[in-house]
A and B are shown apart, each in its own frame.
Chain A
């Protein structure tokens, strides 16, 4: 896993550091997160997990112009709520990965630890915008969604802990491919809402940069792991086929569908979706897959039937 074949560079490297001071901290814990050299943790030549862990972007409420984000239209707020609820589900996703052989991959868990931290602050920032617009509505689970959630919380971790550990470390490739899909659609969603509502720019631009780094990590990991064995590719293909749009498993389709229509119905967005799909198709064993377009198509046809 730490061979010298990994790629270097990528869009996330240009984003700025998290260099806030935390003078309000109750104890003096030392200097700020300043990204000084830490010589001990070896890393490979690809995505620099060490650099990522010591340079997280935690988006705080004072970092963006909340005053410019008052009076947002309802469809924007519904979309922000959807995205916020997806971000809030990070620990559930983390659980689903950690019960599998992925938990032993210390490079991945170091990433996930920092990723969860960044996601936490994105969700908090989105909550701030929603609060500023007095938007308290949340998407409640349907009856079926509640059953699914109970199943996913109580049964699946147990089943998966046994099933995936029997399958072995090839399963990690699929997790990385799904992580990439989740990050790609998140990035596309944020980028699009930023286009549709320019007043959100000071919030959305840093989020897109954060997502860029997540995409970069997952691309790197998925590519290496899928290339490693035919078993990994087979499990990866299954994972990509089974992938669902984030945040769509528990709520009513009638809630997510307008969000996706708002974001992606315009034909001008198709090129962005195709570009995201192409990033997945470029992975070993994933040629001709169009998981994102397919997922959007399912929502579109469901909408047409309603």
Chain B
């Protein structure tokens, strides 16, 4: 699987929703559990710039295509946050700069020291740390794409489904980048494979875990991936990860659901 960075940058646009009929939410609002999930997704998307920070302090950034990708990725994710904030605003839920600032400040020293941890690990581990980042990114983007698609199906609202489809389409391109990078860096490198496998098995948690409360993470996991159909999606992500060099048999997503008591 190749990734055409030139095409990706050329095609990178902010997600649009102005052509979608979302105003009917005013008469037919989404249910509270969906709004709760959308709020989670919105906050996580806006937090991307902090994830970017944590990558920029490691050797994962470079001069070439990684930098190009990160620039576009960061902007596209920011606009996912804006799009979801728009849907929330139609339900009387306001998300503004001041709220985002407060939320980031409340994360405290754990968040402020995140780049220190990443930088130290990167300096200690060296180049193989980049493989972990790329694999981590692939896992998170796979789950994001699946989450948006799943919410579109669950809700059945045509305009929301279309918006979520557009967002998921961008997430899928992000998957392609991360997975291509991870595959290339893991292939033929048993040390990187061992390290990445260890990191995923022991340190990985569903995206948003570090910034949202446990209750919120459990709600979103249960809402989107509970039941037979949800578990099918989750197993598919685990299979994607398992196909990467050295990751055979990993079931981090299914394990995360089990740990949170989300029934299949």
Contacts and interface: CB of A to CB of B under 8 A. Distances in A.
A71 interface: no
Given A22-B11, A103-B104, A117 B89 contact: no
Interface residues on B, range: 35 or more
B95 A94 contact: no
A245 interface: no
Given A24-B10, A158-B115, A107 B18 contact: no
A196 interface: no
Interface stretch (B78-86, B142-150, B225-233, B245-253): B78-86
A33 B105 contact: no
B113 to A, nearest CB: 7
A149 to B, nearest CB: 11
Given A22-B11, A106-B104, A39 B89 contact: yes
Contacts of B85: 40-41
Contacts of A162: 113, 116
Nearest to A101: B112
A75 interface: no
Contact of B71 (A28, A30, A36, A120): A120
Given A114-B75, A158-B119, A40 B97 contact: no
A31 B16 contact: yes
Contacts of B53: 95, 98-99, 103
Interface in A91-147: 91-92, 94-95, 98-99, 101, 103-107, 109-110, 112-114, 116-117, 120
Interface in B16-74: 16-20, 46, 49-50, 52-53, 56-57, 61, 63, 67-68, 70-72, 74
B236 to A, nearest CB: 20
B35 to A, nearest CB: 14
B13 interface: yes
Interface residues of A, number: 53
Nearest to B104: A104
A26 interface: yes
Contacts of B52: 94, 98
A195 interface: no
B211 to A, nearest CB: 12
Contacts of A24: 10-11
A122 B119 CA distance: 29
A41 B71 contact: no
User: Which of A34, A40, A110, A114 has the most chain B CB atoms inside 10 A of its CB?
Assistant: A40
B11 A30 contact: no
Given A98-B53, A110-B97, A22 B75 contact: no
A229 interface: no
Interface string A137-175: 000000000000000001001100110010000000000
Nearest to A94: B56
User: Which of B17, B50, B119, B166 has the most chain A CB atoms inside 10 A of its CB?
Assistant: B119
Nearest to B68: A120
A1 B56 contact: no
Interface in A41-79: 41-43, 49, 53-54, 60
Nearest to A154: B123
Interface of A: 1-2, 22, 24-34, 36, 38-43, 49, 53-54, 60, 88, 90-92, 94-95, 98-99, 101, 103-107, 109-110, 112-114, 116-117, 120, 154, 157-158, 161-162, 165
26 contacts: A22-B10, A29-B170, A30-B20, A30-B166, A31-B18, A32-B16, A33-B13, A33-B16, A40-B88, A40-B89, A42-B96, A42-B98, A43-B96, A91-B56, A95-B53, A98-B50, A99-B57, A103-B50, A103-B104, A104-B105, A113-B78, A114-B75, A117-B72, A154-B119, A157-B116, A158-B120
Given A98-B56, A104-B101, A106-B100, 11 more contacts: A2-B98, A22-B13, A41-B85, A53-B78, A60-B10, A91-B70, A94-B56, A106-B46, A113-B49, A116-B75, A161-B112
